[in-house]
Amino acid sequence: MDTDVAAKYLLDAYELGCKQLKLTGGGEPLLHKYILSIILTAKYYGMKIHLQTNGSLLNNIHRKFVNDIRVSYGDGIEFKPNHLINGYSYIVTSEPDYDNLNNLVHYAIANNHYVRITQDDTDIDNVPDIADIQSHIPENDLITFWDIKNYHKGKNPCPLLNSPVIGADGYIYPCCRTQYAKKPMWRYNKEMRIGQDLKNLQFDGQKCKRCYYV
């Protein structure tokens, strides 16, 4: 996304009273050439910054200005402790690596880091149920679960437009799960765009074959 576009969105969000900004993927947000400028602009506007990253480019500057840093892991990605973060996401696939997951969970509990565990959206028919995943790890209040098998058809109008997603293409989308809302399409697509005006958001939720929220 062009930085001028990002700056315009941040100003509009500020004028609307936005309190939080989440920087996330599908892709690595810290690869953006001017990500620090975006973070500092949002901080200038008084927003809390939440960052979801793979952790490979994290440094002390990010830790200084970002309120919450969550590192993404999953089966096939070996867990490595990182003192700069607050929490973790973990995606369980159809071939769970519970040893890797337990290494992460035990470290998180010992260091008071939160963990959010979910399943692989792209293989929804073959991933374990949440109850099965829970049976392999210790219970703790720091661990939460998001059951992506528990979805329904979207509602019209969509009630989630107070938390829109701005895609890397510069367009607004209704929520962070838009890329999974139209099976078998696993990408953001033009049909799901709701323009480029944060102050005038309308979306027909019936377009979503999969809604994970309300």
82-104 confidence digits (pLDDT tens): 999 999 999 999 999 999 999 99
Written as one letter, the residue type at 176 is: C
pLDDT digits (tens, 9 = 90+) for 150-176: 888 888 888 778 789 998 889 999 888
Strands 87-92 and 68-74 come out as parallel
Quote the tokens at residue 81.
């402790």
Q: Tell whether omega for the bond before 26 is within 30 degrees of 0, i.e. cis.
A: yes
pLDDT digits (tens, 9 = 90+) for 102-151: 999 999 999 999 999 999 988 888 999 999 999 999 999 999 999 988 88
pLDDT digits (tens, 9 = 90+) for 58-68: 999 999 999 99
Going by C-alpha positions, the residue among 30, 104, 113, 111 that lies closest to residue 74 is 104
Determine what percent of the chain is predicted with pLDDT higher than 90: 68
Q: Which residues pair with 173 in a beta bridge?
A: 165
Quote the tokens at residue 57.
């480019």
Give the mean pLDDT of the chain: 91
Count CA atoms closer than 13 A to 123's CA, side-chain side.
Answer: 13
Burial of 212 from C-beta contacts in 10 A (0-12 / 13-18 / 19+): buried
Written as one letter, the residue type at 46 is: G
**Could you give the CA distance from residue 187 to residue 96 in angstroms, rounded to a whole number?**
24
